[in-house]
Structure formats: C-alpha cells, structure tokens
Amino acid sequence: MDSEKIHRELGGLEDCSSFYGGSQTGSTCTINSTSTSATGVYWCQSESGEEYHPVNITVHYGVILESPVHPVTEGETLTLRCLHKLASPPILSADFYKDGSLVQNQTTEMIIPTVSKSHEGFYNCKHTARGESPKSWISVRESQISVLKILTSVLAACPYLLVTVVLIYKCCRMRSKTPE
C-alpha cells in the first residue's frame, strides 16, 4: 500500500509526499498545507490502477461545519459542530440551519439522536461574530434489515416455541386422564 498515489479530479496523479506538503503513513495521506484552490474531489489509486472511494474536500478559511463524510444510516445519531481554527476553543456556539431554515440556535453542537430520511439536506452553521460555514450535504441511507438476522432470530426462537407446545400438549393430556 506504500505505493498508493493520491489523485485529484482536475489535477493528476501524485505521490502523497509531494502533494501540498503531504506525508503518508501506510494508506493514510496527511495534507499539511492547503489553500482554497485545493478544493476538489480526491481519491487514492494503487499501482495497478485500482481507484478507491472518492471524497469531496472543500478548503475554506473561517467557520466550518464538522459533519460526517459518509452517508448516515437511518436510526443512527448525527452530531454536527461549528468550528473555527483560530478560536480557542475551536468549537463555537452558533445557529444551525438545514436547507436555509434555522433548526437550532446558539449551541455548540446539534445532535439528532435518531436520523431518518427526512433529515437529509444541506446544513450549515452561523456564528454572530466569526461568520457562516459553507453548506454541507448530509446524506441518509435506509437501514437494511438483514435476511440473515431475521432468519437467525426465528431459528433461535423455534426451540422455545417447540418446548412450549409440547408442554401444553402434555399438560392437556394429563388433565384429560386425571379421574374426577
């Protein structure tokens, strides 16, 4: 994996070490210095040409919204934070917006305990003194109940059901044989 290279959609294939002062540890590329012109879609590519998981990276100076990179699965908890690199601490108390509408005001984080498809949309945060973050798309994927999980649950319940039916049958038979 040490020979993986990072690729930018509008650029070319480069070694991680030469990419914006980056360094590579295993299959992780750390970019040390960026500018707003570094915004774009990035992915890794192996020596054999295999490409891995494209990621959209937006470089922005100022207020940013900390949000998940990958889609959130229905039923999971979603936590959003408003950050500013130069603030101490970096987490800001801010207003949170979804699709341009205020959903929560003056808090350090917005937590949705059980995400549903209706939570999908563009989110951003706004701090009164430091400014507004770019909008981030939060994607929600449907929860898939595994057929294997259902089958396992049914099979686990079968012995208990069978024992219950046998005991009821024996109990009824014994009652019918008991002299009155």
Full-model pTM: 0.59
Structure confidence at residue 2 (pLDDT): 43
Write the pLDDT tens digit of every residue in 99-133.
Answer: 999 999 999 999 999 999 999 999 999 999 999 99
Write the pLDDT tens digit of every residue in 50-74.
Answer: 877 777 777 778 899 999 888 999 9
**Which residues are CB-neighbours of 31 under 8 A, at least 6 positions away?**
19, 20, 21, 22, 38
Mean pLDDT of the chain: 82
Mean predicted confidence (pLDDT) in 157-173: 83
Residue with tokens 């999971």: 76
- Distance from C-alpha of 86 to C-alpha of 63, rounded to nearest angstrom: 9
Exposed, middle or buried, 6 (CB in 10 Å: 0-12/13-18/19+)?
A: buried
Please state which of the ranges 32-36, 71-75, 104-108, 160-164 shows the lowest mean pLDDT: 32-36
Mean predicted confidence (pLDDT) in 38-51: 77
What are the residue ranges spanned by the domains of the chain?
Answer: 5-57, 63-141, 145-180
Return the sign of the alpha-carbon dihedral for residues 79, 84, 87, 90.
Answer: positive
Q: Domain 63-141: give its CATH code.
A: 2.60.40.10
Whether the per-residue pLDDT at 9 is higher than 70: the answer is no
Structure confidence at residue 87 (pLDDT): 80
Exposed, middle or buried, 70 (CB in 10 Å: 0-12/13-18/19+)?
A: exposed
Closest by CA to 110, choosing from 121, 128, 98, is 98
Percent of the chain with pLDDT strictly greater than 70: 85
Structure confidence at residue 94 (pLDDT): 95
- Residue 13 pLDDT grade (very low, low, confident, very high; cuts 50, 70, 90): low
